[in-house]
Amino acid sequence: MKRRSFIATGAATGLGLMAAPAILRAQSAPLRVGTYGGYFEDSFNEHIFPDFTAETGIEVESIGTPTGEAWLVQLQQAARAGQAPADVSMMAQVARIRGERAGLWAELDPAAVPNRENLPGHFVHEYEDGRFYGTGAVSWYITLVTNTEVYPEAPTSWTALWDEENRDRLGLLALASNSFLLEITAATHFGGTDILATEEGVMEVLDKLAEVRPNVRLWYRDEGQFQQALQSGEIPMGQYYHDVTGLAAADGQPVRSTFPEEGAVLDSGSWVVSSASSAIDRAQEFIDYMARPDVQAKLARFVGTAPTVNRELTDLSDEEFGAVASDLPPILPYYDLYVDRSDWVNQRWAEMITG
């Protein structure tokens, strides 16, 4: 009897021992957080992740991700195979909404993310049935940028893109869904983005936008390509990110970012968790941490992004806030266009750009 139970216990212990390394690994495996590779990832590694680990004891493994939908496709493919290349990912809005439609994001416990109260409603993401799945991570502006040596005077309006003086001098983003040039054109020439509600309206805006084509030297997909050309003056004007341009200027590069009178485009990224992730608890802890006003203020100071929490909650001075954002009313992207009518818009866009 004793012997039998010994054997049984032994077997159980043996099994337990065999299983133990896996459990240990799971607990000690770092939380994998995906942010846009390059500058964003470096900044998070330097300023954000170490403090998070020091406070919570949760190790973070940083994963550099491509911007936009490339990462969404990879997450989706991996999730089909039950894999999560990252637990938490920062996703652009169109990609986030597409993931929501596909049910790709894990449901989160609202009680585990109390700091979501700090965020405005449009930065608290829920499925249609009300299940909470993500929060606004950072926001940023796409502004009118110029090389200061080629343009001693800063331009004041997006109409500079249409100016014949700027022939073959512009660098613009190559895709409808990341350039938001339809919104910029609508705000500049049609009094606002309401015109984008109908297909006829979109066509009218596209026709107006087609007029900038002779001025565009580079339709870029790769940010590095444009930034380098902007700094050297090879392509002295274009649309680009306010935060990165400010950092390049601070580094002594002859570039400037201008908030045009029609407003700059306010875009944002959100934290979501892959449904294939096995680290939901730690992911929630991370997302809650990132929604704290002091962390959002730190992001503004060190990474150069605009806070997603209400400004009053942060201790940012006017000067600090001005460096990352503007009180001018922004141009808000018409995201529904790229989700509900994406194939149609992309087709018309491709015809406009290559035509």
Partner 1 sequence: MSAGVGRTTPGWLGAIPAVWLAVLFLIPFAIMLSVSVAQRVPGGFFEPGFELASYARLFTAFFGRILLTSVLIAGGAALICVALAFPFTVILAGMRRRAQTLVLVMLLAVLSLSEVIIGFSLSTLLSRTAGVGNLFAALGLTETSQAYTPGLFALMAGLCYLGFPYAVLVLYPPVSRLDPELGEAARSMGASPLRGFLTVTVPVLRAPILGALILVFVFTLGAYLLPQLLGRPRHWTLSVHITDQAIFQSNLPLAAAMAVVLLLVALAMVGLALLLGRQREAGA
For the CB of residue 63, give the shortest distance to partner 1 in the complex, in Å. 17
For the CB of residue 346, give the shortest distance to partner 1 in the complex, in Å. 5
- Kindly give, in sequence order, each residue whose CB lies less than 8 Å from that of residue 289, ignoring residues fewer than 6 positions away: 52, 55, 56, 115, 295
How buried is residue 128: exposed, middle or buried, by Cβ count under 10 Å (0-12/13-18/19+)?
A: exposed
Give me the residues paired with residue 258 across strands.
144
Q: Which is nearer to partner 1, 57 or 252 (CB)?
A: 252
Q: Which is nearer to partner 1, 198 or 228 (CB)?
A: 228
Q: Which is nearer to partner 1, 66 or 110 (CB)?
A: 66
Dist. CA 226–CA 207, nearest whole Å: 25
For the CB of residue 286, give the shortest distance to partner 1 in the complex, in Å. 26
Note whether 209 and 187 are within 8 A (CB): no
Dist. CA 148–CA 83, nearest whole Å: 47
For the CB of residue 146, give the shortest distance to partner 1 in the complex, in Å. 15
- Kindly give, in sequence order, each residue whose CB lies less than 8 Å from that of residue 350, ignoring residues fewer than 6 positions away: none
How far CA 188 is from CA of 157, 164, 195, 299, in Å, comes to 8, 16, 12, 31
Buried b (16+ CB within 10 A) or exposed e, 177-203: bbbbbbbbbbbbbeeebebbeeeebbe
Amino acid, single-letter form, for residue 164: E
Q: Which is nearer to partner 1, 116 or 217 (CB)?
A: 217
For the CB of residue 83, give the shortest distance to partner 1 in the complex, in Å. 16
Q: Which is nearer to partner 1, 59 or 107 (CB)?
A: 107
Residues engaged in binding partner 1 (CB under 8 A): 66, 68-70, 72-73, 76, 97-98, 101-102, 174-175, 177-178, 217-219, 221-222, 225, 229, 232-234, 339-343, 346-347, 350-351, 353-355
Other C-beta atoms lying within 10 Å of the C-beta of residue 7: 10
Q: Which is nearer to partner 1, 173 or 184 (CB)?
A: 173
For the CB of residue 73, give the shortest distance to partner 1 in the complex, in Å. 5
Dist. CA 177–CA 189, nearest whole Å: 19
Q: Which is nearer to partner 1, 156 or 347 (CB)?
A: 347
Dist. CA 52–CA 68, nearest whole Å: 25
For the CB of residue 100, give the shortest distance to partner 1 in the complex, in Å. 9
